[in-house]
Amino acid sequence: MIRVNEVKLSVDEDRKLLKNKIAKKLRISPEEISSFSIFKESIDARKRHEISFVYIVDVEVTDEERVLRKNKSLQKSPDLRYRDAEAGDGVLKHRPVVVGTGPAGMFAGLILAQRGYRPILLERGQDVDARTRDVEEFWHNRKLNPESNVQFGEGGAGTFSDGKLTTRTKDLRSRKALEEFVAAGAPEEILYAAKPHIGTDILKTVVKNIRGRIIELGGEVRFGSKVTDILIENGHVAGIIINDKETLPAEAVILAIGHSARDTYQMLHAREVNIRQKPFSIGVRIEHPQTLINVSQYKEQAEHPRLGAADYRLTYQSKNGRSVYTFCMCPGGTVVAAASELNTVVTNGMSEYARDRENANSAVLVQVGPKDFGSEHPLAGIEYQREWEKAAFVSGGQNYNAPAQLVGDFLAEKPSTQQGDIKPSFLPAVTFTDLKQCLPAYVVESLQDAIASLDKKLRGFARSDAVLTGVETRSSAPVRIERDSETMQSMNVAGLYPIGEGAGYAGGIISATVDGIKVAEKIIGKFKPFSG
């Protein structure tokens, strides 16, 4: 097939016209096109009155060599097929164990299962249906289950998010991940959308279907199974302890624990697994009317049915030298309670596939690092997170309300007492107050500087009654579990494979899945399929 770039349709042109547009670009008749598929679809909104869809397509023609000779700038389509890793000749005495069923663990388990390794997946939280009930109980009745919540359970933290699948990685394994998502029930458009997303409603079905596939292939998935200790013999992992009582022997253990498994980090540190501090970010969620974002991005075409809910991604370097950026922007979504520890408040953002809620929200985050943590202890970043999450709990009223403040009041440095025209979406509720009570002074300073300045990039960003809800502390892990770059094993415990966001090696659903696929390949390359 031939790769063709920059095929454009206006926002009002039907996709059925693509074939004719491609033919014109190739200088052939439409009849010479045997078939074509969309590789990428993006929106070009740079010209106010000429919003268009831009396509990269792969085209099969009747005489490929002639077309390539006529168009010297064209190239053949790259081969994006996933290549199975070649199996090694080592013998596994025990089934490989995957700790955690977020994107990294889930895909490590799936790849191993597809190749006959019969992995055992352990999840401290519950299956996605039971987990959803637990989350709803927290959001509506303020009853937090520390083991089954927005952070812990089947699918990981990404299950209650926008389900974004954007990534900066060029790794071909990302295509494999997208194809598996589609096979499990995700919309086919994620294969070509420039900014693909699944939405929390569809993600719940997708993760169940992937679990079912792992089980069909001989794997095992256990819920309510927290790894409470790890067995190490002569510098090599020998097994794990589940729920303080069950011993499970293993010589290959994949740690895909997620960025909120603080007790697991503590256990690993006690067992002298190499861990070090890592920078991360903290801040707030900002809410605007989705219509404001649509108009800002699409102008007169803002309500065009083909464009959907607009998004944004903004960055800023504050005057105090700290990086500020928007993160996990959720068009037509809600701000959600994401605590995993009692008497703390943590926020996150979530959208369903339709992205049809009234508000848009995004994290606005400030980077922090070891110099801010006040200690050289490897886990000092965790205590730093916890300090501000507890402060948010107190500031919100000690009942799991989130502290909130209007942008106008935040910039004027005065407490808020009531909402404006924008209704906060956070459940169970917000308490209007002064966010200075639950954020470091340098973070407040950075946010004030950034919000005022970002209004020049996105008109209305600093709207006075936009709602800031605190605090967001879980954008990434505060630690890195150190591993060898070649073998992906712990630097000082052989057979232990730290992966994904929780280990400090990924920053989103797709990068985590790619990390999971890579570690599965490492185990496949070392051992034969499990035959015990």
180/118 same-domain check: yes
Give the confidence band of 530 by pLDDT, cuts at 50, 70, 90.
very high
For the purposes of burial, counting CB atoms within 10 Å of the CB of 494, is it exposed (0-12), middle (13-18) or buried (19 or more)? middle
156/67 same-domain check: no
CATH of the domain at 71: 3.30.70.2700
State mean pLDDT over 68-78: 89
**Number of domains present in the structure of the chain:** 3
Residue at 82 is within a domain: no
Residue at 81 is within a domain: no
Cβ-proximal residues to 417 (8 Å cutoff; 6+ apart), any chain: 432
Q: What is the per-residue pLDDT for 473? A: 97
Give the confidence band of 154 by pLDDT, cuts at 50, 70, 90.
very high
CATH of the domain at 189: 3.50.50.60
129/71 same-domain check: no
- Among the candidates 76, 107, 132, a domain finishes at 76
Give the confidence band of 159 by pLDDT, cuts at 50, 70, 90.
very high
Q: Which is nearest to 314 in space by CA: 176, 147, 456, 423? A: 456
State mean pLDDT over 164-185: 91
**Bridge partners, residue 227, by sequence:** 242
Q: What is the per-residue pLDDT for 115? A: 97
153/52 same-domain check: no
Sequence-ordered alpha helix ranges (H) in 1-102:
18-26, 64-70
Place of tokens 């980077």: 367
State mean pLDDT over 435-451: 98
Say if residue 300's pLDDT is above 90: no
Q: What is the per-residue pLDDT for 372? A: 97
Say if residue 169's pLDDT is above 80: no
Say if residue 48's pLDDT is above 80: no
> What's the rounded Cα separation, in Å, for the pair 163 and 155?
11
**What is the percent of the chain where pLDDT is above 90?**
93
Residue at 65 is within a domain: yes
pTM of full prediction above 0.85? yes
Residue at 88 is within a domain: no
520/410 same-domain check: no
State mean pLDDT over 202-231: 98
- Among the candidates 76, 108, 139, a domain finishes at 76
In this predicted model, what pLDDT tens digit does every residue of 402-440 receive, in sequence order? 999 999 999 999 999 999 999 999 999 999 999 999 999
Give the confidence band of 170 by pLDDT, cuts at 50, 70, 90.
confident
State mean pLDDT over 44-69: 90
In this predicted model, what pLDDT tens digit does every residue of 277-299 receive, in sequence order? 999 999 999 999 999 999 999 99
285/257 same-domain check: no
217/253 same-domain check: yes
Residue at 92 is within a domain: no
Residue at 360 is within a domain: yes
Q: What is the largest CA-CA distance in the chain?
A: 72
Average per-residue pLDDT for the chain: 96
> Please, what is the Cα angle at 276 between 272 and 280, to 5 degrees?
145
494/456 same-domain check: no
State mean pLDDT over 335-349: 98
354/234 same-domain check: no
In this predicted model, what pLDDT tens digit does every residue of 105-114 receive, in sequence order? 999 999 999 9
State mean pLDDT over 521-527: 98
Residue at 228 is within a domain: yes
Query: How many Cα atoms occupy the beta-carbon half-sphere of 239 within 13 Å?
Result: 10
105/194 same-domain check: yes
Residue at 521 is within a domain: yes
289/262 same-domain check: no
242/130 same-domain check: yes
Say if residue 171's pLDDT is above 90: no
Domain span at 490? 97-277+479-526
State mean pLDDT over 79-100: 96
